[in-house]
Amino acid sequence: MNILLLGYGKMGKIIGEIAESRGHAIVGKINIDNRADLEKLDPASIDVAIEFSQPDAAVENISWAISRGIPVVSGTTGWLNRKPEVEALTLEKNTAFFYASNYSIGVNIFFKVNQFLASLMQGQHEYKASIEEIHHTEKKDAPSGTAITLAEGILAELKEVKSWELNQGQTTAADVLPITSKRIDPAPGTHIIRYQSEIDDIEIIHTAHSRKGFALGAVLVAEWIIGRKGIFSMNEFLSF
């Protein structure tokens, strides 16, 4: 399989190493410094693009590939207000687009555990739900895409909670889910769900020990998406 890497930072480099260890070829490594090299590539030689770039470059990078019929596996967060236009372009070009805020198999199991716990907490008004996420200092967006996905899972089940907001020490209303974001090196990613009451606390935690789980998941999805058409997520990949 010939893979184009759109974004070649820390994640892109680990993805490239894992892909090559699985017998795949990296036909392009694009970052902010060499984006003009995209026009030198032959789209027909690219089987799939894996996009882990920056929020301000994601749509342009994804659209370049999709408009040329190249399926895209994307993990960049912080740009999702424009996701509908990317999905529309995908359908127009009859190719495939796969987005996940986190490609770790463990995290995606954690998403399901989070939503199940939220369903159990529905109606337990003495508990206040909150999210804390910790990432490395190079992460640009806050809260993380993973934290937002966790928040969406909680909002889907806790009817008394109407929205989430980034918490910077302020007191939040009872119907608002606070998300605290911390940037501490060398943390690759920790997410904590808390339900606190005067009597006790309930917590579930996912802690990543390295980026390898995210990178391997992205490569596995890239292998899976070949030959498929449409819009996909980890729910389809893991058959949840």
Out of 24, 93, 135, 206, pick the active-site residue: 135
166, containing H or E segment: strand 163-166
**3-state SS class at 76:** coil
Crossing angle (nearest 10°) for helices 105-121 and 145-157: 30
> What is the crossing angle of helices 105-121 and 212-225, to 10°?
100
Q: 139, 182, 191, 209: which is the annotated catalytic residue?
A: 139
H-helix or E-strand spanning residue 181 = strand 176-183
CA distance 70 to 72: 6
Largest CA distance in the chain: 63
Residue 135 falls in the annotated catalytic set: yes
Tell how strand 190-196 and strand 201-207 pair up.
antiparallel
First to last CA, the chain: 26
Q: What sign results for the dihedral spanned by CA atoms 209, 32, 149, 228?
A: negative
Contact partners, residue 179, CB within 8 Å, separation at least 6: 130, 131, 132, 133, 143, 147, 148, 151, 164, 165, 166, 167
191 catalytic, yes or no?
no
Just list the catalytic residues: 135, 139
